Amino acid sequence: FVRIKAYTRCLLHEEAVSHVLPLPGTICLLKPVDHHPTGPSHRPPRARPPPPPPSPGAARAISRGGAAAPSTPPQPPQSSPAAMPPATAQLVSTAAATSRPSPRVPLLSIAQRNPNCLCCTRVGPSADFSHPSPCLDLKSADLRGANLEGASLDFVELSFANLEGANLAQTSLLHVTAVGTNLVRASLVNSIIEEGSFERANFTEANLMGTKMRTANLNEATFKNASLIDVFIDSSFVIGTDFSHADFTGAITTHLKAEKANFAQANFFKAKFEWANFIDASLVGANCAEADFYEASVQNADFSGVKGMNTATGMHTVIGQGKGHPLLG
């Protein structure tokens, strides 16, 4: 070996080393025994160190005369990314990414996913589906992950549409029909819902922080694990709706029609439920700390295992007899 610019190379390699990949281990290529240099060498002969013992599983073909038989070039040792230094792992990952095509298939655009939906071409931030000419039919449209932030969706038909993971923050949803619509993990932060129908819609894990709802029909909808922090709900229907594990922290509701609704394990911390109708509803395990139940109807409502009831207000004004807690007996 000779040293060239601090890099070691075999004599067979006539070109200077320009790129180095710092992988663990050492690779040495054996010279053919019949190789003769083209010119006299000025370097004294050196004794070749004995070859290292073959690794398990590695096959080396040697002829009877002692010469190395033709064989495939030795392969560099394989190392898992976890066993490599960070810099090495990054180099290997970069090389792998550029050497083969990505298996991910690009997502189709909204229009490509909905070739028969004329109104889908308007989908986008701040879209207006009423002007300059109304285009209100998004029924059954595939709008997964769509960005409709700040859009005006007044009077739009959204029944059975798929809006999973969509951004509907600060949208206007007046008189919308969205029966059976999929809004799982959608963002409706600071949106306005008025006189719309969202029966059997799925809001699981959706973010409705700061949303305002007035006279909305949310019967039999699902709000499991949804964020309803600081929402305002007035005169809306949530009969048979599932709010289990939902977060109502700081929410303000008035005249909420919540018969047979499921609020199990919900968080009512500092929420207001003035004149709410909880008849036959389930509040099992809910956090009612500092909640306000002023003149709420609680006939047959199940308050078993609720927490913080001793700090709730308005309990002396509730109407009817609930069950599962001494304050309601």
pLDDT per residue of the chain (329 residues) written in tens, 0 to 9: 454 555 555 555 566 666 655 656 655 565 665 545 555 545 555 555 566 555 554 444 444 444 444 445 555 555 444 455 554 445 444 444 433 443 343 468 999 999 999 999 999 999 999 998 999 999 999 999 999 999 999 999 999 999 999 999 999 999 999 999 999 999 999 999 999 999 999 999 999 999 999 999 999 999 999 999 999 999 999 999 999 999 999 999 999 999 999 999 999 999 999 999 999 999 999 999 999 999 999 999 999 999 999 999 999 999 999 999 887 75
Residues 194, 272, single domain; the answer is: no
What does the alpha-carbon distance between residue 257 and residue 243 come to, in Å, rounded to a whole number? Answer: 13
Q: Is 265 in a helix, a strand, or coil? A: coil
pLDDT for 202: 99
Q: What is the count of structural domains for the chain?
A: 2
- Name the phi and psi angles at 3, rounded to 5: -100, 125
140 within domain boundaries: no
Residues 182, 210, single domain; the answer is: yes
Q: Of the candidates 228, 250, 268, which is a domain's last residue?
A: 228
Residues 285, 214, single domain; the answer is: no
> How many other C-beta atoms can be found within 10 angstroms of the C-beta atom of residue 84?
17
Residues 213, 274, single domain; the answer is: no
What does the alpha-carbon distance between residue 171 and residue 174 come to, in Å, rounded to a whole number? Answer: 9
Residues 221, 260, single domain; the answer is: no
263 within domain boundaries: yes
Give the C-alpha distances (Å, rounded to integers) separating 186 from 39, 60, 125, 143, 167. 76, 61, 15, 11, 6
200 within domain boundaries: yes
Task: Read off the amino acid at residue 1.
Answer: F
Give the C-alpha distances (Å, rounded to integers) separating 239 from 182, 251, 269. 19, 18, 22
CB 9 within 8 A of CB 28: no
6 within domain boundaries: no
CB 111 within 8 A of CB 120: yes
Q: Of the candidates 228, 260, 292, which is a domain's last residue?
A: 228
222 within domain boundaries: yes
What does the alpha-carbon distance between residue 38 and residue 61 come to, in Å, rounded to a whole number? Answer: 28
pLDDT for 98: 39
Residues 150, 186, single domain; the answer is: yes
Q: Of the candidates 179, 210, 228, which is a domain's last residue?
A: 228
Residues 295, 273, single domain; the answer is: yes
Give the C-alpha distances (Å, rounded to integers) separating 299 from 101, 220, 239, 240, 277. 63, 20, 15, 15, 9
Residue range(s) defining the domain that contains residue 150: 145-228
Residue 102, CB-side half-sphere exposure with 13 Å CA sphere? 6
What does the alpha-carbon distance between residue 132 and residue 64 come to, in Å, rounded to a whole number? Answer: 89
62 within domain boundaries: no
Rg (CA), the chain: 35
Residues 252, 296, single domain; the answer is: yes
Max CA pair span of the chain: 110
Query: Exposure of 254 by Cβ count < 10 A (0-12 exposed, 13-18 middle, 19+ buried)?
Result: middle
297: domain CATH number? 2.160.20.80
Residues 190, 258, single domain; the answer is: no
Residues 243, 192, single domain; the answer is: no
Residues 177, 149, single domain; the answer is: yes
Residues 194, 251, single domain; the answer is: no
Q: Is the dihedral of CA 211, 236, 219, 113 positive or negative?
A: negative
pLDDT for 121: 94
Nearest to 273 by CA among 300, 288, 255: 255
